[in-house]
Chains A and B, each alone.
Chain A
Amino acid sequence: MARVKVSEAEKVYILHGIRDDLRVDGRSCEDYRHMEVETDVVSNTDGSARVSLGHTAVLVGIKAEIGKPRPLVPDEGYLEFFVDCSANATPEFEGRGGEELGIELSNTLYRVFNNRSSVDLKSLCISAGEHCWVLYVDVLLLQCDGNLYDAISVAIKAALFNTKIPRVHMSSDEEGGKEVELSDDPFDCVRLNVESVPCIVTLCKVGHRHVVDATLQEKACSVASLIIAVTHRGTVTCAKKMGGGSLDPESIFEMTEVRQTTRNDLGFLCVYDVSLVQAGKRVGKALHAPLMKLLQQEESLGKKRQKVGFLG
C-alpha cells in the first residue's frame, strides 16, 4: 500500500496530538474526514457508486449476471469481488504493483459481504439449484490517501443500494425444460435490501490510543490496525487484524461489560483490544444512519439530479 516517509520528530508530534485527541488536520480521534457519496455514476452497470474520503477516491460498479448457484447453498446467489488498483491512484501500482493489494482487498471484501447476514443472498436466487444472480462487484481505486477499506465498504453499500436487477421469471414447458424470461419493461426490476450490509471501520492503534480514518502519515505511526465490519445495529460481523504490532487486551472489566451486550460476537474477539472494538462499533453504528438517509435523499431526486460523476 501507498506509504509515506515520516521523520521521528513528525511521529512524536502526531503521537502526542492523538494522545490529546487532536489530530494534525484538526479532527478528534473518532472523526472521519469529509466524505462524498454519489450513486448511479456508470450507466452500463446495474448499480454503481463513487466515494471520496479526503483524497481517497474509489469507484464501485456492480454487474448482475445469471449463473449457477453453489452446490452447498442451492437457494442462494453470491457475490464476486475484484479490486483494480489503478496506477492512477499511485505510481506504486504500476505494472503488477497493485496486484497483491488488490487480491488482499478482494479476499477481505468477500469475507465481509458474501454471507447471508450481510446481504440477502436468498433474494438473488431465481430457481433453486439452477439459476441465480451473481453480483460481480468491481472496485476501482482512483486515488489512495489512506483508509481504503472504509471508503470501499461505503461505496459497496451505496452501489448495492443503487443496484437494479432486471426482474425475471422462469417459464417451464411440459417437458420440464426451464427458460429465463425477461420482462420487457426496463423499470421492472428488483432492489436489494441493504439495511444490514455492514460498513468497515479501520481502527489504527497509535501509541496507546486509536484513530479512525487514519491519514497516510498517521498510518505510518501505527504499529497495528484492526478492521471490523459493523452493521447498522452495531453487530460486528467480521474482524481482522492488520500490521505487525500487537494489540493487548485491556481491562477484564471493560470486556465483561461489553460481553453483556454482545456476548456472541465478542467471544472470538477476546484476543483483541476490547476498547478498539467498542470504538469501532460506536463509529460504525453512527456511520450507517446518515449514509442511508443520504442515499434515499439522492434516490428521491430521480432523473433530475445533476450528475457529478468521477470526472467532476
Chain B
Amino acid sequence: MLKSKTFVRKTRAGGVLKVVREHYLRDDIWCGSEACSECKQESTVLQEDAIIESSLCPYPHYLVPDTNVVLHQIDVLEDPVIRNVIILQTVLQEVRHRSAPVYKRLKDMIQAKEKYFYTFTNEHHRETYIEREQGESANDRNDRAIRVAVKWYSQHLKTESNTDGLKVVLLTNDQGNKEKAEENGLVVYKFDEYVKNLTANPELVDRLALSNDEKAEITSSKVLFPEHLPLSKIQSGIKSGTFLQGTFRASRDNYLEATVFVQGEGEDTTEVLIQGLQNLNRAVHQDVVAVQLLPRSEWVSPSAVVLQDDGAAKDDDVDDEEEKALRISAAEAARKPTGKVVGVIKRNWRPFCGMLNLSQIKESTRHLFTPADRRIPRIRIETRQASTLAGQRIMVAIDGWPKNSRYPNGHFVRSLGSAGEKGTEEEVLLLEHDVPHQAFSQNVLSFLPKMPWGITPEDMVKRRDLRHLTVCSVDPPGCTDIDDALHCRELENGNLEVGVHIADVSHFIRPGNALDKEAANRGTTVYLCGKRIDMVPELLSSNLCSLRSNVERLAFSCIWEMNHKAEILKTHFTKSVINSKASLTYAEAQMRIDDTSKKDDITESLRGLNKLAKILKRKRIEKGALTLSSLEVRFHIDSETHDPIDLQTKELMETNSMVEEFMLLANVSVAQKIYDEFPDCALLRKHPAPPPSNYDILLKAAKSKNVEIHIDSAKALADSLDVAKVDGFSYFNTLLRILATRCMMQAVYFCSGMDSDFHHYGLASPIYTHFTSPIRRYADIIVHRLLAVSIGADITYPDLMDKHKQSALCNNLNYRHKMSQYAQRASVAFHTQLFFKNRGILNEEGFVLFVRKNAIIVLIPKFGLEGTVFFDSKDKAAPSLVFDEQGPTLKVEQTTFNIFDKVKVTISLDDSNIQHQKIRMALTEPVIPGVSVAAPDAEPQAKKTKLK
C-alpha cells in the first residue's frame, strides 16, 4: 500500500518547499518473537522466556523504551541484564536524528546477539503506521506511534495459544505519554520505577540519569547562572555579529577562567577570555558556545593565579571572594578581549574518568565527583555504593546543568577498578586520550575473511608471483604485526634488484564497510607498554596481513632496479604474493651480517641491503636530513605480575637504520607516484620548517658551551649538530639533539589538493607519504588504495577522489596520531612511576635540560626520565632566586644553574594525590644549604633530614 508523506521545509535561499515522499506500507513485517507462530519469520530475536527478575513484572515481558529513555538512559540499557528489548523504528530514527553517539551505541546493542534487541519497523507496518493529525506536534505523533505499536504487540502476542502471559512493557519518562498509554490499557512504567524494582540488580539504579523532577530536589532554588539563550536567537546573533561562536577551553590551572577560540576567516582564530563563574555560565571544556564580548572597559588580562576548585564545603560567598582576587590581579596593561557565554550551541560531553569525593554526611547518597582532567568541573552524582566506590576510578556522565546548581548533575556509568592499579590506570589513560579501545563490534568482525583463508586463483589475476624470492622481515623482538619485508638480489646485468614488500591490507579492508569505517576512526594502532590497541582486528593484524615467515601472504611490492651506487634505475609497483623466508629481529639480522662464515641467501640479501642502505643514508644526510634524538625507554616487564622490573633506553643498531632507509625510499617513491597520478587527492605527509624563534632555546644552550649552531636550513643545522662537541662531555651532542627535537614542528598528513607546501623538513625530501605500515596506520591504507588505482590493480570509489572528504580524514588521522603519542607518553610515565614505586628512593646523575623561573628540568639519561626540581614550595620560605633570561641561568642562593649542568638528584614517587601521582626529584648535588637534600642511604627516612 502506498502512502505519501508530505512536509514543508525552508530552503537555503529563504524559500519554502513542499516535499512529498512515497511511503510504502507492508504486511510482511514480522514481530521477531520466538513465541509467535503467526508471523512467517525465518529467525527470531526475542526470546520466549524473556525474564528479567523484577518485582513489578514477575511475568516474562519485552521492553519498549521510548526515545527519551534511550537517549538518556543508554548506560542502563547497555547493561547485560537488560535483554529482550523492542526498538521501534520511530525511536531509532529519532535517536539517530538527535544524537549520533547514542545511535551508534544503540546499533551496536542491536547487533549484539546476547542482548536480544529487535528493531521493529513500525513505520512501514500496515497496522502500526499512523499519520500525523491536525494540531498534533511531531513529538506527540511519535509518542502515539509508539503507543500504537505497543498496543499492536500486546494484542499480537495475546492471540497466540502458546503464550504464558508474555507481555509488552512500555518504558517512558513522560507523564502525559504514560497516562495516555494507561488509558489504552497498556502496561507502562517510568524507567526509574522499573529499574528500581529489578530485584537482581540493585546497582543499576546508580546509573540512572537524573530526570528533571529529581534535579529540582537537589539544588537550591537560588538561581546562580543567567539563562542560556535559545538557539534561534544565538543563530541570528552570530549572523549579525553580536555573538561569536567558538570552542570553549577551560583553563587547566584556574577553574574560574577559560578561553574561547573563535574561528575567523580562513586560518586565523581569535581568543576570547572568559572570567568568573557567571560569565563561564555552565559551559564545559570543549563545548561549542556563543559568547558576547564585554565592553572594552571590562576587559581583563588572564591571571597568573592557580586556583583549584576544592570543595563541597565551599559555598557561594567564597567563590565571590576568589573572583574578587582574580579581578585585582588583573593588570591594567595587557588586557585581552573578554566576554561572557550567552548560550551553548553544542555540548561535547563524554563520560569522564575520575574519583569520588565522599560527602561529609555519612548517609548522604549525593556526592561530588572530581574528574581526572582538571579542566572539567566537579560533577554531582547520586549513588548508594559510595563507600565501595571510594578509592576507585569511576566514569561519570553529565546529565545536565540547571541554572540553579553550582555543579552539573550526572550519573555513575561504571567503575574502572581501584586507583593506582595497572589495568585501571591503563583504561583511564586510554579514555582520557580518546583512544577507541573497545572490542570490535560484531558488525565490524563480520567483514573479516572467513577462516581457513587461502589464496584463490582470483587473487592471483592482478598479482605477481614473488613466492620464489628470498624475502625476509626485520623487526623489533616480539613483533606480531609485521607489515614490511625486504629482499635484495643480483640481476644478470650486474645491477641489484631491491624489493620492499608491504602487507596488502587494502585487499582485506574494502572501502566503506564497517571494518573500514572503524579503522578510519581509530586511525592508528596505539602501543602502550606491554599492550597494543589494534586498529584492525587481530585476525588481520597478527595473522592474515602479518608477513610472517614460511606462509604465503598477499603484499604490495615496490621493486627498484639499482646500480651499486644505490642510484635508482627503474621503479616498479605491483601487487604480489610473497613467502617470507625468515622473520628476524634487529639483533638477529645484525648477527647474520656480522658473521662472515654465513653465506646463505638470506644473509647475502641482508648484506646487499645493508650496503645500499649505508649509501642511501649518506646521500640523504648530504641533502640535509636531520638526525635527531629522543630518549626512548624500554621496560623489562615481569612475565607474571606484568610490573616493570627494569628499564633501559632503546639501542639502535645498523639494521634498524637499514630497514628505515628502505622504508623511507619506498615512501618517497610512492608519494611521487600517487602525486603524479592524482595531483588533487594524494594523501601526503609534510613536516613544516619551524619558525626561527623556535630555535632560541637551542641557540642559547649551545652558546653557553661556546658552540655555534646554524639554523638557516636543515642542512646547516644538521652539519652544525654534527660538529658540535665539547671535550670531556661525551653526552653533549645527544643532549643538543634532544633539544633540537623539541624545536621541531609536528609532521602532519594532508591532502595534496588542499595545500601547496609539501616539503618534509626533517627528512629533507620534497615529497613524502606513509606507505609502509598499513596494519597500524590508516593513512597507509588510503595510500595503498591510491597506488593500486594508479597501477590499475584496484578500482576507485568516490570518497577517495574527494579532496574535502580526504582532508577531513587527514584531520582525524592527525588528531588520533597526536592522541596516541600522548597516550604512549602517559603510559611510559605511569610505568616509570610503577618502577620507582618498587624502588623506593634512588640517587641518580642527570643534566639540566631547561632552566625556569623557579625550577630546573633535569634529564636522567639512564632512565630517559625528565623531572622538575622546584626551588620554591608552599610550606617553607623560598630561597633567593635570580633568573636571567639571557642565559638562561638561575641563581639559587650562591649556586648558578646553566643548561647542561651536571647535577645529582633523588628520585621518588609522590603519591600524596592519588589521582595525579608524579615523580618527585630533589637536588643532592651541588649542595645548596636549605635547598638540597642528602643523598639517600638504604633508609628512606634519610630523605627528611635536611642539610644544615
Whether the pair A43, B20 counts as a contact (CB closer than 8 A) is: yes
Size of the B side of the interface (Cβ < 8 Å), in residues, is 27
**Residue of A43, A171, A175 touching B232 (CB-CB under 8 A):** A171
Q: Is B837 an interface residue (CB 8 A)?
A: no
Minimal Cβ-Cβ distance residue in A for B135: A187
Of B8, B19, B134, B240, the most chain A CB neighbours within 10 A belong to: B8
Q: Contact between B10 and A46 (Cβ–Cβ < 8 Å)?
A: no
CB-defined contacts of A43 to chain B, threshold 8 Å? 4, 6, 20
Q: What residues of chain A lie closer than 8 Å to B135, measured between beta carbons?
A: 185, 187
Task: For the complex, count residues of A whose C-beta is within 8 A of B.
Answer: 24
B15 located at the interface, meaning its Cβ lies under 8 Å from any Cβ of chain A in the complex: yes
Q: Is the CB of B16 within 8 A of A179?
A: no
B7 near A66 with CB under 8 A, answer no
Q: Which residues of A contact B137 (CB under 8 A)?
A: 184-185
> Which residues of B1-52 have CB atoms within 8 Å of chain A's CB atoms?
4, 6-10, 14-16, 18-20
Q: Is A74 an interface residue (CB 8 A)?
A: no
Q: Which residues of B contact A175 (CB under 8 A)?
A: 240, 242
On whether the beta carbons of A180 and B242 are closer than 8 Å, the reply is: no
Say whether B7 contacts A186, CB under 8 Å: yes
Asked whether A166 lies within 8 Å of B236 as measured between CB atoms, the reply is: no
> Which residues of chain B come closer than 8 Å to A180, judged between CB atoms?
10, 14, 16
Chain B 131-145 per-residue mask, 1 if CB under 8 angstroms from chain A, else 0: 111111110000000
Q: Is B16 a contact partner of A65 (Cβ separation < 8 A)?
A: yes
B16 touches A44 (CB 8 A): no
On whether A184 and B138 interact (CB within 8 A), knowing A43-B20, A166-B8, the answer reads yes
| Contact for B14 among A66, A166, A187, CB less than 8 A | A66
B237 within 8 A of A: yes
Choose among B6, B10, B233, B239 the residue that contacts A186 (Cβ–Cβ < 8 A): B6
Chain B residues within 8 Å of A174, by CB: 240, 242
User: Closest residue of chain B to A165, judged by CB?
Assistant: B16
A303 vs B18: C-alpha distance when bound (angstroms): 19
Q: How far is the CB of A167 from chain B (nearest CB, A)?
A: 10
Whether A173 lies near B240 (C-beta < 8 A) is yes
CB distance B236 to A44 under 8 Å? no
Question: From residue B205, how far is it (CB to closest CB) to chain A in Å?
Answer: 37
Chain A stretch 156-208: residues in CB contact (< 8 A) with chain B: 166, 168, 171, 173-175, 177, 179-182, 184-187
Measured CA separation A187–B133 after assembly (Å): 8
Complex interface: chain A residues within 8 A of B138 (CB): 184
Q: How far is the CB of A52 from chain B (nearest CB, A)?
A: 24
Residues of B within 8 Å of A168, CB to CB, are 16
Instruction: Report Cα–Cα, A179/B236, bound state, in Å.
Output: 9
A45 to B20, CA, bound (A): 9
In the assembled complex, how far is the CB of residue A26 from the closest CB belonging to chain B, in whole angstroms? Answer: 42
Distance in angstroms from A235 CB to nearest chain B CB is 34
Interface membership of chain A positions 61-99, coded 1 if the CB is closer than 8 angstroms to chain B and 0 otherwise: 001111000000000000000000000000000000000
Q: How far is the CA of A85 from the CA of B14 in the complex (A)?
A: 32
The answer to whether A173 and B236 have CB atoms under 8 Å apart is yes
Q: Is the CB of A187 within 8 A of B134?
A: yes
Chain B residue nearest in CB terms to A182:
B10
Point out the residues of chain B lying under 8 angstroms from A171, CB to CB: 232, 236
CB distance from B11 to the nearest CB of A (A): 9
Smallest distance from the beta carbon of A311 to chain B beta carbons, Å?
14
B: which residues have CB within 8 A of A? 4, 6-10, 14-16, 18-20, 131-138, 232-233, 236-237, 239-240, 242
Give residues in A with beta carbon < 8 Å to B. 43-46, 63-66, 166, 168, 171, 173-175, 177, 179-182, 184-187, 303
Can you list the 5 inter-chain pairs with the closest CB atoms, starting with the nearest? A173-B236, A44-B20, A187-B134, A175-B240, A166-B8
In addition to A173-B233, A177-B236, A185-B135, 16 A-B residue pairs with Cβ atoms within 8 Å of each other are A43-B20, A44-B18, A166-B8, A168-B16, A171-B232, A173-B236, A179-B14, A180-B14, A182-B8, A182-B10, A182-B16, A184-B137, A184-B138, A186-B6, A186-B132, A303-B131
